[in-house]
Structure 1
């Protein structure tokens, strides 16, 4: 059996707000949830599981590969929603996107403070 990525748990302050943020931004349907998790399902059966741990949340980085059309719609939602965003991970180019790696990209923070990246072309 080849190795594939199955799921990750994303620590958040408000699991419903974070799941809703990603569902709306990335145009994803609701997925069955259970226990302490609110789930979002990506292509290939990959689950993002949002949970509220009883500890301080450390920032993580998550990058999503999207097509050009979804990038345009998601970027418009970020701008229209007043979400601060940058063309670079060091946050030195505010309010911009980048054209690195033969595609486009943008960085922003989700409601829990995680560093999120949308890209239209994989790095490799």
Structure 2
């Protein structure tokens, strides 16, 4: 059996709102609750299980998307007035990055309602 990531817990002050925020940006849907978790399932079947917490450290989550998905997500970010950045230090406001190491890769960062640093990026290279 190969090892695969099945799910990860995403701490959130309001799990439903935070899950819906990400689902809206990525063009996904929030699944029905599973126990006390609010899940968002990705195309590779990994589930982000939002769980209510009052105190937590923000995390970084990166999502590989196609060029078309990137453009659509970026449009939703911009239309929603969400600040995005061309760097993980969040200094390059309103920018996207272009990777120096992977030809054709681009991406951007933004914060979710709980302060988690989200990243969307394209695969780059031929066929991206």
Higher helix proportion, which one? 1
Question: What does residue 40 of structure 2 align with?
Answer: 40
Q: How far apart, CA to CA, are the structure 2 residues paired with 1:71 and 1:35?
A: 32
**1:34-80 CA deviation, whole Å, 9 max, x = no partner?**
22110111123211100112x41211000000000010011011111
8 Å CA contact 2:66, 2:122 repeated in 1: yes
Q: How far apart, CA to CA, are the structure 1 residues paired with 2:30 and 2:109?
A: 24
**1:68-105 CA deviation, whole Å, 9 max, x = no partner?**
00100110111111111110011121110011132110
Question: What does residue 70 of structure 1 align with?
Answer: 69
Moved more, 98-107 or 29-38: 29-38
The answer for unaligned runs of 5 or more in structure 1 is none
Question: What does residue 97 of structure 1 align with?
Answer: 96
Moved more, 101-110 or 60-69: 101-110
In the superposition, the TM-score normalised over structure 1's length comes to: 0.91
In the superposition, the TM-score normalised over structure 2's length comes to: 0.89
May I ask how many residue pairs the two structures share in their alignment?
Answer: 121
RMSD of aligned residue pairs (Cα, Å): 1.3
